[in-house]
Amino acid sequence: MSKITYSISSLNSILKKARPSQVCIVTSGILAKKLKWAINEIKFSNIKTVLIPDGEKAKEWEELQKLLAQFSKLNLDRNSIVIALGGGTVGDLVGFAASIYLRGVRYVQIPTTLLGQVDSAHGGKTGINFLKYKNQIGVFAVPLVTVVDTRFIRSLSREQIADGLGEIIKAGLIKDKSILSILNKETLNSLPKSQRLDSLVKKSIAVKLSYTEKDFRDATVRQILNAGHTVGHAIELKYKINHGRAVILGLIQELQFTESLGLSASSVRINLVRLLNHLGITMGKKMKAGWSSVIHDKKITGKTIQFPVIQKEGKSKMVELDLNSLKKFIEKV
């Protein structure tokens, strides 16, 4: 079971109780400067800081090796605690490194991007990229605690906020339509300072946990969290756009597809496009998924695909669909 706390001060009492031999904060050089205020709030007598590269570069094999070497150099032992301070890339690398160092030391997630706070820091997936493929090597490992402090959101750019909103919108569509109602009262500009931000983040986390806690290893119900991702991943790969934007495009196109099969209400897609306009998220030129990347989707078996279908706002289910009908749809988008 994941433990979540919503402030760094409560992390300090958890650390005190856990009595680690050492605490090691891992973050990028850029974030160590930008988020000095947060590092200063973490109180423990013996804190070390290790810097890793910023962004996706952190998830390279060589960086894992370097980080483990740092752990060893600092003499971290089985009783140490490692803190991942940063976005999804930091959480993924550090969670993985902590889980294999000395067969596993405790780690804490402090997600600092919107995507990290609502998505990547929950559910226990950790890992790195390998041979040009994303997240190929990793383990499921639950952190000691995840600290979700929305003060981090204030220093994010509009683009980074839009990125996180992709997963938040998805959470609203698949399970909790009150998320969509909140978003309809906000814009990209208003959200970072909004009083509704905390509740939006908490509701989105609750949606993710409602699936990951029933299906930790992603074999059944957790797969509904992949709504928008079959098409989205293929678009992300082809156009090198950020994940959240790709998920939004994926959601729209997948809704068009399931609508054509009579499985989704057309109002879902129409309202979604209206919401994006309202928020100030512009989607730009038309993007088309490549079929060869779509068929790499892990949910495909033979001639069918297990597909997350959003029936109406806040209601979804997995449905086995004919692969050929998806292919025809993708080719004519």
Ligand X SMILES: NC(=O)c1ccc[n+]([C@@H]2O[C@H](COP(=O)([O-])OP(=O)(O)OC[C@H]3O[C@@H](n4cnc5c(N)ncnc54)[C@H](O)[C@@H]3O)[C@@H](O)[C@H]2O)c1
Residues that bind ligand X (CB under 6 A): 28, 30-31, 34, 54-56, 59, 86-90, 92, 112-113, 115-116, 119-120, 123, 125, 134-135, 152, 155-156, 160, 163
Question: Taking a C-beta distance cutoff of 8 angstroms, is the pair 189, 280 a contact?
Answer: yes
CA–CA separation, 252 and 264 (whole Å)? 11
Residue 247 vs 326, nearer CB to ligand X: 247
CA–CA separation, 254 and 231 (whole Å)? 7
Residue 112 vs 258, nearer CB to ligand X: 112
Residue 27 vs 264, nearer CB to ligand X: 27
User: Token digits for 23?
Assistant: 């605490």
User: Token digits for 129?
Assistant: 């990229």
Residue 28 vs 99, nearer CB to ligand X: 28
| Nearest to 163, CA basis, from 223, 99, 116, 109 | 116
Give least dist CB 111 to ligand X, A.
7
CA–CA separation, 259 and 270 (whole Å)? 11
DSSP 121-181: TSS-EEEEEETTEEEEEEEE---SEEE--GGGGGGS-HHHHHHHHHHHHHHHHHT-HHHHH
Q: Identify the H or E element spanning 309.
A: strand 304-312
Residue 89 vs 258, nearer CB to ligand X: 89
Give least dist CB 223 to ligand X, A.
13
Residue 33 vs 73, nearer CB to ligand X: 33
DSSP 113: S
Give least dist CB 122 to ligand X, A.
7
CA–CA separation, 169 and 45 (whole Å)? 41
Report the residue closest to ligand X, judged by CB: 88
Give least dist CB 304 to ligand X, A.
26
Residue 20 vs 53, nearer CB to ligand X: 53
Give least dist CB 129 to ligand X, A.
8
CA–CA separation, 306 and 104 (whole Å)? 34
Give least dist CB 210 to ligand X, A.
15
Give least dist CB 184 to ligand X, A.
24
